Chain A
């Protein structure tokens, strides 16, 4: 469903943030992008989510190119990030209705989908409260409910559990597993090993804008010769990271 082919991205002439990344993700798969801060995870996620054009290389979503079928692609993608902060004066109700309107969801269906999503995440009691009055966890759950209201087959999730407490984090990971079982294609970026170990069917380690290792968690541990995934990651990272002079 997602095909990334030799993608490069440069913000300036001298430096390249993404250096020829390629991978594919199929249906019912959770693919994790793992890397330290500054490795280029967010840039790559934004390129795949069509928020940014690559300098070279191609991205295909559901067999379509963003150059030709951008609006169709946007109906296929649900993009979530903990960096997104919802409008503080709006209510979850208003936000859901607004985005549902933009996705052309019929009015009678909006109500059903809203009730289902709000019930699933326990948002219902807070539906008419302002976002500014809600907790971080609740805001994140509202953000998920809104991002997935059009029931997209492809979900791109940047740092899904970043800044969340254990309970909310658990709810999010359970939900992602549920979405996988429904056959959705999920791409997530994280720097939390436990999340990657628990959720991802396949992991790619991104160091300095390049994928230096790719496979299942077990394959990467085996490849590095270490005992656990965290040690495996550090070994792979040290072997591939070049200090900037």
Chain B
């Protein structure tokens, strides 16, 4: 899109609109940030609106950071999200590449199958997955968690990746074939670098979905594996809700995602602009 100079009134209207949308989208998060710096007593003694000047304290953060189960859950969640993302990106890429560029018997069936599986509600898959993991004695383990998340993510991400890899012209793949490049090398050394924007977008998407998952984490992890989101939910157990501590935990758990988004900002935006997700 070429940059156009806009007249001043139009620019003002534009910025007001952008601010309104941003405010709408970000207000819960901002409220969370504010809450996380408040004292529990102070918060419960008044309604959240209208805002009142607060004296920010770091108590909640200090508490959460020294609360060992939280740190452990943080590490476990990171382990699960990173492993899941790696697995989904590698397996999804190979599947998507095959469906996008190779001609083989059953290709259309596989493509439709991927779409159908993705359309199944996650809840419908929950029980079978739990039963399966129990049989495999993987229930309540990190590996089981990675399995569950991969099953959840793989069809959707494969579907997105098919669209992305289809953007690489078939001629280029055939040229690679003539030049003696194996398929697997073509995929990892040429196709993925050529579609890196879409690839990073899907990578972030996978990581965030796994990281933010509550439902599977709450079912597959029971005692020994407690991921971050279920751990945060515990602040809401029973009759008492620890709002400020929970807010601090929530904000902390959002940091890796925010960091990832900032680091890969360029790629993600380019991915969206290029219509990586159709």
Q: Do A and B bind each other?
A: no
Give A residues with C-beta under 8 Å from B: none
